[in-house]
Amino acid sequence: MDKIIVGLKRVVDYNVRVQVRSDGSGVETDGVKMSINPFDEIALEEALRIREAGNANEVIAVSIGSADAQQQLRTGLAMGADRAILVAVDQDLDPLSVARVFQAIAAKENAGLVMLGKQAIDGDNSQVAQMLAALWDRPQATFASGVSIEGDTARVVREVDAGLETIEVDLPAVISVDLRLNEPRYVKLPDIMKAKKKPLDEIALSDLGVEAAPKVRELSYAPPAARQRGIMVDDVAGLVAALKDKGLV
Amino acid sequence: MARILIVAEHDGSDLNPSTAKCVSCAAAIDGAEIDVVVLAANVADIAAKAAEIAGIARVLTVERAENENAVAAILAPQVAALAGDYAYVFGPSTTFGRDLMPRVAALLGVNQVSDIMSVEGSHTFKRPIYAGNAIVTVEAPPDTVLIATVRVASWPTAAAGGSAPVEAASADTELPVHTRYIGLESAASDRPDLQTAATVVAGGRAFGSEENFQLLYALADTLGAGVGASRAAVDAGYCANDMQVGQTGKIIAPDLYIAIGISGAIQHLTGIKDAGTIVAINKDEEAPIFEVADIGLAGDLNSAVPELTNALSK
Ligand SMILES: Cc1cc2nc3c(=O)[nH]c(=O)nc-3n(C[C@H](O)[C@H](O)[C@H](O)COP(=O)(O)OP(=O)(O)OC[C@H]3O[C@@H](n4cnc5c(N)ncnc54)[C@H](O)[C@@H]3O)c2cc1C
């Protein structure tokens, strides 16, 4: 195949303990560390490995977001993506509109594969890959923990509730990746320097002719019901007694 | 009246308990009239089970050889074809529903509400974001069909004892051939299913080896419990992938959850927030798991677990 498109979303870093603003208007993101969505980083790593194995020519990193997302794209370029595209939007796009953007880019680039994270750890929607596959009328292989390219097909192992499912899909296809697929490489300093010279194009949503979809509106935010710290027991006998007390054993 | 279609989850022969949980969620919508659709190669047994769920109006069946395995690209156009008669189409937040429902939504040109925790109004729901660190109230557009997944850990199993009529439905759509099911590798176990067990014991990295996980299995068998694990334990190869509990594993709500040698990372806690009672055994008194545990025991699992198994088997 010629090209692989990888989505890189800028999200609050997974180590940050996210706080809801006291007025319920959203989640505190000011001054918070931002990173590539961890699942997306794995998608990029897999795309790079496919290219390195000679099964693709080019890896294109795409982010949809504010100008700040250039940082994440630069990191992607430093990891090894050949070029990057920033689709500039000034507000959060809904999953269906994001899928439409990827469809437009996949068509324009004549992509052989689109690789995305199985979910973004901010909205936790887990929708874009499946939606893109539907719009594009192509196969989807979600929650991938193993990918092998065999000519015009891909064999994908999927992490499903019942265990590990294997499917075979014709290319082009959409793959959404799970955490166990690989361990992303570390970026080295010379790669960061090199990445500065790689092309990063910015395009507007309107250039792609994408229409925004009817939105699910977010009305208000609240912290989850907190669990209280309970009692500490001294030994196993104390534990058994406490469980019996609650009628649990 | 609000017509709601629920896509049944099954493994080809048995109905998955997630379906009855979706029914509870659907029933929380005012004026709900609930149909369940079974798409399978052999629908009879599954449909008969679905018909026993109390509170549903009809069971629809779509029997096609192509429906032998749950392949989203094959099921989605059939579900989309049936959606025209409904104001809502729900599926479970299991990997089955998460794979299928967004594909249905996109075919219908709408967004999806993922992981409904509670119903606040006809089109308003609560759902978790940021690994459950925030709960957002969302409103879906009222003038289009509403596609959603139901966060199964948030809902009780709808009662049995119903006897809904079973009707064959036609979803005559052309189905793609670009996706082929090859097989499922399942770590078969006789223990209760992790997602529905009343008691779950779970082990973390601290077990140190696959062999040492036997301590956990012995405790589970004494309690009749399902077995879960942290991501670290799964990644280290101590147990099978499908045992992972948490943001990227299973979200569960047992009456009793016993976390052993698990530190309590946010991503793990996301999976057990709705458990009735949380017990933690950890040798580090400062471990974050104790902040959410109802009963904590600071101690070494290598002695505490066999001792507990022993005490409980008397
Ligand atoms: C995007 C993302 C998603 C993730 N999803 C998940 C998920 O779904 N589920 C999940 O679990 N994790 C998930 N993680 C990983 C998570 O952040 C933690 O790394 C993981 O949960 C740690 O597992 P653990 O508690 O077993 O290991 P550790 O954090 O290493 O904890 C081991 C604990 O065992 C205790 N211990 C050690 N020896 C003993 C002993 N002899 N007796 C008693 N106690 C002992 C230690 O004090 C420690 O508290 C995710 C991470 C990311 C980035």
Q: Is the CB of B232 under 6 A from ligand 1?
A: yes
What is the rounded CA–CA span in Å between residue A221 and residue A41? 28
A160-210 confidence digits (pLDDT tens):
999 999 999 999 999 999 999 999 999 999 999 999 999 999 999 888 988
Residues of B in contact with A100 (CB under 8 A): none
Domain boundaries, chain B: 2-168, 199-313
Chain B residue with minimal CA distance to A37?
B130
Identify any residues that bridge with B307 across adjacent strands, giving them in sequence order. none
SS3 content of chain B, % helix, strand, coil (to 5): 30, 30, 40
Q: Using alpha carbons, select from B262, B230, B285 the residue that is nearest to residue A233.
A: B285
Q: Do A142 and B98 touch (CB under 8 A)?
A: yes
What is the predicted ipTM? 0.96
pLDDT score of B186 more than 80: yes
Atom 34, ligand 1: residue with shortest CA distance: B261
What is the rounded CA–CA span in Å between residue A173 and residue A179? 20
B15-74 confidence digits (pLDDT tens):
999 999 999 999 999 999 999 999 999 999 999 999 999 999 999 999 999 999 999 999
What is the rounded CA–CA span in Å between residue B157 and residue B170? 28
Q: Using alpha carbons, select from B155, B121, B151 the residue that is nearest to residue B139.
A: B121
**For the CA of A39, the nearest atom of ligand 1:** 1
With a CB cutoff of 8 Å and minimum separation 6, the contacts of A147 are: A46, A50, A141, A154, A155, A156, A157, A175, A177, A181
Could you tell me where the beta strands, DSSP code E, fall in B73-145? Answer: 88-92, 112-116, 118-119, 124-129, 134-139
pLDDT score of A127 more than 90: yes
Q: Using alpha carbons, select from A248, A242, A239, A233 the residue that is nearest to residue B310.
A: A239
What is the pTM for the complete model shown?
Answer: 0.95
Give the per-residue pLDDT at A158: 98
B132-144 confidence digits (pLDDT tens):
999 999 999 999 9
Give the per-residue pLDDT at A212: 80
Q: Tokens in use for B156?
A: 């009780």
> Closest Cα of chain A to B188: distance in Å?
9
Average pLDDT over residues A240-249: 95
Element spanning A136, H or E: helix A128-136
Residues of A in contact with B294 (CB under 8 A): 227-228, 230-231
Q: Does B230 touch chain A (CB under 8 A)?
A: no
Q: Is the CB of B206 under 6 A from ligand 1?
A: yes
Spelled out in words, what is the top-level CATH class assigned to the domain A3-245?
alpha beta
B285-306 confidence digits (pLDDT tens):
999 999 999 999 999 999 999 9
Say if strands B179-185 and A163-170 run parallel, antiparallel, or are unpaired.
Answer: antiparallel
pLDDT score of A5 more than 80: yes
What is the rounded CA–CA span in Å between residue B312 and residue B302? 16
**For the CA of B233, the nearest atom of ligand 1:** 26
CATH number of B199-313: 3.40.50.1220
* CA B261 distance to own-chain centroid: 24
* CA B3 distance to own-chain centroid: 23
Average pLDDT over residues B233-238: 96
Residues of A in contact with B138 (CB under 8 A): 216-219
Give the per-residue pLDDT at A211: 82
Q: Tokens in use for B172?
A: 């005559």
Atom 23, ligand 1: residue with shortest CA distance: B232
Looking at domain B2-168, its CATH superfamily turns out to be HUPs (3.40.50.620)
What is the rounded CA–CA span in Å between residue A144 and residue A46? 10
If you search the block for the tokens 């992303």, which residue do you land on? A184
